[in-house]
Structure 1
Amino acid sequence: MRFRPGTTGPAVVAVCTLALTACSAGSLGSSDEGGAGSVTLTYLTGNQEQDIKEAEQLSKDFTAKNPDITVKVESRPGGTEGDNIVKTRLSTGDMTDVFLYNTGSLFQAIAPQKNLVPISDQPYIGDLDENFTKTVTAGDQVYGVPSGGFMGGAVLYNIPIYSKLGLKVPRTWAEFMANNAKIKASGVAPVVQTYGETWTSQLFVLGDFHNVAAAEPDFADRYTKNQAKYATSPAALKGFEHTQQVHDAGYQNKDFASAKLPDGLRQLAQGKGAHYPILTGVVNDMIATNPNAAKDVGLFALPGDDASKNGLTVWTPAGIYIPSTTTGDKLEAAKKFLAFVASPDGCKALAAVGSPTGPYAVNGCELPSDVPRSIKDMQPYLDKDGGSSLALEFLSPVKGPSLEQITVEVGSGIRKAKDGAARYDDDVKKQAQQLGLAGW
């Protein structure tokens, strides 16, 4: 199933994690581990529960086809801490043989032309969705393959609560806040937030980009050229304002400051919270511990001001890369592994242990018929002309590292929206200068 973007143009630049555990697989010489004629690869990946499940299945199925290659896993945390680990290991030459990491702006920030092995000459590249390949391209070279499907940055909502209170899916921010008022009056937390894991605090800002692009179609281009700012763009500022408004109205769960992602998913699935702005990459984790969520949790795009332009902000899958320190037999084995991931067999392996986060980025990979309700709810946005837009980090290499800390402050009442937006504008400056972008 092909991803069809909205009206914001091609992708350049994105989020979330998957994983791989010990596996073995093809006859490619010898290594210091394993038996004669075998190669052992190390693989650095994320540490979420679903990541591990997917990793084990990829390992098993890859091993069946390549019994002389063993892949051993190392895991890392998400967010800023994980970013720093990846950058440090690349800079010190201590990176694993293959690793999973973000696409888009964060991919650009790890100096791919210096630190990664290009794979543009691999025969499967033509089978990858071009919206994905543009997010893992530096210069004229492609460096990564997709692990999983596209994701939506949206609001997951509890359907039984909506049914009980007679609520309709909101298409404007005013309708969303009106729903929140009714939900709070019923004794349920309207909006789940999990600032104990800071990366989850960003969705009211990042997931709102479809609305920004609808109001200012050239925002991404002007932002890259240092001609547009969050603090001075009325459309872009709204994400910060919405984060503040939800806090000021008392619509968050009581433990928002300390709750973590598993807590938020549980509260939503069990009807203790009605809405959770988050990436659809977490749906499998939610269903793994709360199977009822497959039918009881739906999805809607973050609402803006104009119902006629309501649409979904979309993220590409994470990428799997080969660092330039991988050489010889290990390099050939690593290329084999990437080829497996970027094939229908790789998609089937992932689907065997959890529902996709959205349409796949590999030609020939089809969504299963029994995907959860929240994933099905993405499709109308993707099918509608202008109904979806790539997140800003796919359209611009400019992305600051401190957004998740800033949105926690705004969403906790520590900092006002405009102050937070201005601070983020300052935060992106250093990265833009490091990338050598004109105008900075």
Structure 2
Amino acid sequence: MKSMRARRAPATALALLATGALALSACQAGDLGSADGGGGTASTTITFLTGNEEVDMLIADGLIEGFTAQNPDIAVQVETRPGGGEGDNIVKTRLATGDMPEVFGYNSGSLFQAINPQQNLVPLTDEPFIDGLDPTFTEVVTAGEDVYGAPIGTFRSGGVLYNARIYEELGLEVPTSWDEFMANNAEIKAAGIDPVIQSYQETWTSQLFVLGDFHNVAAESPSFAEDYTANRAKYSEEPAVRGFQHMQEVYEADYLNSDFASTSFAQGLQKLAEGEGVHYPMLTDAVSNIAAAQPDRIDDVGFFALPGDDPAKYGATVWAPNAVYIPTTTEGAELEAAKAFVAFVASEEGCRAQAEAAAPGGPFAVTACELPTDVPRAVQDLIPFFDEGNVTPALEFASPVKGPALEQITVEVGSGIRSAEDGAVLYDEDVQKQAEQLGLPGW
């Protein structure tokens, strides 16, 4: 296990990780905004492609405002894309056709490997800011001998955001085992409240019961990531199949909001914040959305790790930050401007701009950056897992294998359309295609 150097106020080392997300990655691509920070004096213009979630755009605006204040000769336009599989396809298509803007934000880890970085991206290995990044992050944006990305956003965990106010009203305690979690769900349902929120209108949100369970998988089978990469372990086998089984169990117990199929990510967060539902399996950086949309309710939302079968092995699955990249089609003055923008994103000033624009969802990957003292309750709940080293990187940071159809499969399992076992087998078939495309041995 390698250490992750991240800081919070007061400055405290946060131990973490091994190698290292959810392809978690509204306007459609092509909608633009711009800022030049200098009253129209810019001599070079670049475009930054980012996600179309509200927080993505808030962070982009904050970064551009800070950057252009320091660089009035550079204008930065904003272009957005959807998340999930649709966004993945847009990124891959635009790279393949040479139509990618000068800078774009995208996942680190296995999805980064899937966009052929050595062919499509500009290496950043020799840029001065690289030495100031947490090595856990640089590992998950490295291909061959080169580093290709700079962190945007923060480390975060995939577990359960919960309404702490309702927990207090019902006298519930944070569960550290799956049985305790299901017992809490039974009490919440008896109180006339939806125990678990799902938001399958946006299919990427369906994956947390599976991906967030990886700490529990690795705790029981420490070699799982290595075996999985070598085609010696499967999701249709114990212990990995349990994430799919848990989805089925929650559905069959009738613990979901009745409108789970049509609920959006934003609506899911609203239900959570307002107490219409109590548990929302999600990444912790989603609290930034709540802080932006319903700041008066942000302290009602807490976090706990997705529990497994053994409370003695309770811990959190964590994701490295997404990254900003420069495509190889960026040249000349635009390339120099893009590198300057990426360097700003990876600076202390960039961290401050992001924290002021949206509440951080965890510690930064820029080692000089500290978290504000007033981070949301859910982030405060997360920090002890880092402090104690009780975390495991999500599988997509420990293995290059991640099938593109997982979000559709988990929607089917979570909706009762397909059994857990059938869904896991289908996902094994999905990842085999991906592994073969990557040319991994053993597949």
CA distance in 2, matches of 1:290, 1:193: 19
Partner in structure 2 of residue 431 of structure 1: 434
Partner in structure 2 of residue 329 of structure 1: 333
Q: Does the Cα contact within 8 Å between 1:393 and 1:399 map onto a contact in 2?
A: yes
* Residue 391 in structure 1 maps to residue 394 in structure 2: yes
| Structure 1 residues 439 and 25: CA distance shift in structure 2, 3 A | farther
Amino acid at match of 1:48: E
CA distance in 1, matches of 2:130, 2:290: 33
Q: Does the Cα contact within 8 Å between 2:151 and 2:345 map onto a contact in 1?
A: yes
How far is the alpha carbon of 1:347 from its aligned partner? 0.2
* Residue 420 in structure 1 maps to residue 423 in structure 2: yes
Q: From 215, 238, 241, give the equivalent of 2:242.
A: 238
Q: Could you report, residue by residue, the CA deviation over 1:260-296 in whole angstroms, capped at 9, with x for unpaired residues?
A: 1111111111111010000112111112222233210
CA distance in 1, matches of 2:282, 2:429: 25
CA distance in 2, matches of 1:432, 1:292: 46
* Residue 197 in structure 1 maps to residue 226 in structure 2: no
Sequence identity percentage: 59
| Structure 1 residues 46 and 239: CA distance shift in structure 2, 3 A | same
Partner in structure 2 of residue 48 of structure 1: 53
Amino acid at match of 2:35: C
* Residue 252 in structure 1 maps to residue 256 in structure 2: yes
How far is the alpha carbon of 1:25 from its aligned partner? 6.2
How far is the alpha carbon of 1:52 from its aligned partner? 1.3
Partner in structure 1 of residue 290 of structure 2: 286
CA distance in 1, matches of 2:15, 2:432: 31
Partner in structure 2 of residue 5 of structure 1: 16
Q: From 167, 171, 176, give the equivalent of 2:172.
A: 167
Amino acid at match of 1:362: V
Alignment of 1:43-192 (within 5 A): 43-192=48-197
> Secondary structure of 1:235's match?
coil
Amino acid at match of 2:34: A
Q: Could you report, residue by residue, the CA deviation over 1:388-431 in whole angstroms, capped at 9, with x for unpaired residues?
A: 01000000000000000000000000000011000000001111
Q: Could you report, residue by residue, the CA deviation over 1:12-51 in whole angstroms, capped at 9, with x for unpaired residues?
A: x75445x99523369xxxxxxx76x711001111001111
CA distance in 2, matches of 1:293, 1:389: 30
* Residue 312 in structure 1 maps to residue 316 in structure 2: yes
Amino acid at match of 2:245: E
CA distance in 2, matches of 1:25, 1:145: 22
Greater shift after overlay, 56-65 or 283-292?
283-292
Q: Does the Cα contact within 8 Å between 1:39 and 1:333 map onto a contact in 2?
A: yes
Q: Could you report, residue by residue, the CA deviation over 1:319-367 in whole angstroms, capped at 9, with x for unpaired residues?
A: 0000000011111111101110000000000111221110000011000
CA distance in 1, matches of 2:62, 2:323: 17
How far is the alpha carbon of 1:105 from its aligned partner? 0.5
CA distance in 2, matches of 1:57, 1:156: 26
Q: From 234, 244, 264, give the equivalent of 1:229.
A: 234
CA distance in 1, matches of 2:35, 2:337: 12
Alignment of 1:18-37 (within 5 A): 22-24=34-36
Q: Does the Cα contact within 8 Å between 2:306 and 2:316 map onto a contact in 1?
A: yes
CA distance in 2, matches of 1:293, 1:303: 25
How far is the alpha carbon of 1:3 from its aligned partner? 4.5
Q: Does the Cα contact within 8 Å between 1:39 and 1:68 map onto a contact in 2?
A: yes
Q: Does the Cα contact within 8 Å between 2:157 and 2:317 map onto a contact in 1?
A: yes
Q: Does the Cα contact within 8 Å between 1:191 and 1:274 map onto a contact in 2?
A: yes
Q: Does the Cα contact within 8 Å between 1:116 and 1:143 map onto a contact in 2?
A: yes
Q: Does the Cα contact within 8 Å between 1:15 and 1:317 map onto a contact in 2?
A: no
Q: Does the Cα contact within 8 Å between 1:269 and 1:292 map onto a contact in 2?
A: no
Amino acid at match of 1:110: I
| Alignment gaps of 5+ in structure 1 | 27-33
Amino acid at match of 1:280: T
CA distance in 2, matches of 1:123, 1:288: 33
Amino acid at match of 1:4: A
Partner in structure 1 of residue 303 of structure 2: 299
Q: Does the Cα contact within 8 Å between 2:45 and 2:75 map onto a contact in 1?
A: yes
Q: How large is the Cα RMSD of the aligned pairs?
A: 1.5
Q: Does the Cα contact within 8 Å between 2:203 and 2:408 map onto a contact in 1?
A: yes
CA distance in 1, matches of 2:24, 2:348: 21
How far is the alpha carbon of 1:384 from its aligned partner? 1.2
Partner in structure 1 of residue 273 of structure 2: 269
Q: Does the Cα contact within 8 Å between 2:137 and 2:320 map onto a contact in 1?
A: yes
CA distance in 1, matches of 2:37, 2:333: 13
Q: Does the Cα contact within 8 Å between 1:14 and 1:394 map onto a contact in 2?
A: no
Partner in structure 2 of residue 366 of structure 1: 370
CA distance in 2, matches of 1:21, 1:15: 25
For these two proteins, the number of residue pairs brought into alignment is 426
> Secondary structure of 1:241's match?
helix
Q: Does the Cα contact within 8 Å between 2:109 and 2:140 map onto a contact in 1?
A: yes
TM-score (norm 2): 0.94
